[in-house]
Amino acid sequence: MKKLTLISFLIFTSCNQKTIEEFSEAEIVSTIKLPKEINETSGLEIVNNNFITHNDSGGDPVLYEFNEDGVILQEYNINKSSDSNLTNEDWEDIAQDGQYLYIADTGNNFGNRKDLRIIKVDPNNSFQAFDVINFSYQQQESFFPSLHHKFDAEGLTIINDVIALFSKDRESFNTDLYLIPPNGGSLLPNNTFNVNALITGADYNSSIGLLALISYDSDGNQYIILFRDFDPLKANRFDKFKIPIDKSQMESIKIINEKEFWITSEDEGSGHPMLFKIVVR
């Protein structure tokens, strides 16, 4: 999602976490140019050793499969062989639980959407739409368009077999964690983390207990935020790694191991979208 003009006082407390000044720098070790068909790549997963991504708001309801060379291998319209007529209102991230993929149609720049949903698709059936999980924010009282609100969300992952959604909070630059029941519904945050950044993507690796978030701040600095031994219901210490790129917005992250990550970025209106392999030290 394109950055918005933000006039906001940044609130940050330590709360058993590193302060913003104590970040390290990540290193880019590989850069792959992606086709312009996915110029607004906004989510990233790996299925059968290939990448799966999608475009941001206004794109077709299509998942794209591409390889590590950045070559698109296949396109999958999630409605093609089903009775669904789902659109890409604002697809922001994608996650998987080993059986299904979940698309976060949750982008809400101005806080005025009433049709937030997670789209469940079946990769074993040509990535066709299987179910829709509708939800709302219990704390939201106004739907009047605004730039300063906490009811946008762009980070989706699966934690302990539960759908986990991380907010992009333009009020406080915290992130609220929502654990979404299978039937959706009216949600309250299950936890809040003082990341001092706007979250644009998430991934969790259960085998190593690692949560990775991709983000940016009001000055355009971009960060990987890592929570080791992550517990969604407790206070968690995190580390913040600055990414040495400021020309395009990082939108998705996929964990390779404890120190290596795949990240995609939009083209920001010029050039190409990119796939980066990044190492933290």
pLDDT at 15: 38
Is the distance from CB of 37 to CB of 267 less than 8 angstroms?
Answer: no
Overall number of domains in the chain: 1
pLDDT at 57: 86
pLDDT tens digits, residue range 157-201? Answer: 999 999 999 999 999 999 999 999 999 999 999 999 999 999 999
pLDDT at 6: 31
Confidence of residue 25 (pLDDT cuts 50, 70, 90): confident
Residue 13 has pLDDT above 60, yes or no: no
Is the distance from CB of 218 to CB of 169 less than 8 angstroms?
Answer: no
Confidence of residue 271 (pLDDT cuts 50, 70, 90): confident
pLDDT at 128: 96
215 in a structural domain: yes
pLDDT at 24: 85
184 in a structural domain: yes
Confidence of residue 88 (pLDDT cuts 50, 70, 90): very high
Looking at every residue in the chain, the average pLDDT score rounds to: 91
14 in a structural domain: no
13 in a structural domain: no
15 versus 258: which is more confidently predicted?
258
pLDDT at 14: 33
CATH number reported for the structural domain that contains residue 191 in this entry = 2.120.10.30
6 in a structural domain: no
Confidence of residue 8 (pLDDT cuts 50, 70, 90): very low
The three-state DSSP-derived secondary structure of 258-276 is: CCEEEEEECCCCCCCCEEE
**How far, in Å, CA of 248 to CA of 272, rounded?**
10
Tokens of 118: 């997670």
4 in a structural domain: no
Confidence of residue 151 (pLDDT cuts 50, 70, 90): very high
Identify the bridge partners of residue 273 per DSSP, sorted by sequence position. Answer: none
DSSP state, residue 41: -
pLDDT at 247: 72
270 in a structural domain: yes
Residue 7 has pLDDT above 80, yes or no: no
Closest by CA position to 53, among listed 259, 100, 39: 39
248 in a structural domain: yes
As a whole number, mean pLDDT of residues 62-69 equals 98
| Chain Cα centroid distance, residue 130 | 21
pLDDT tens digits, residue range 39-55? Answer: 999 999 999 999 999 99
Domain holding 136, by residue range, is 20-279
pLDDT tens digits, residue range 204-219? Answer: 999 999 999 999 999 9
Helix (H, G, I), strand (E, B) or coil at 22: helix
pLDDT tens digits, residue range 123-140? Answer: 999 999 999 999 999 999
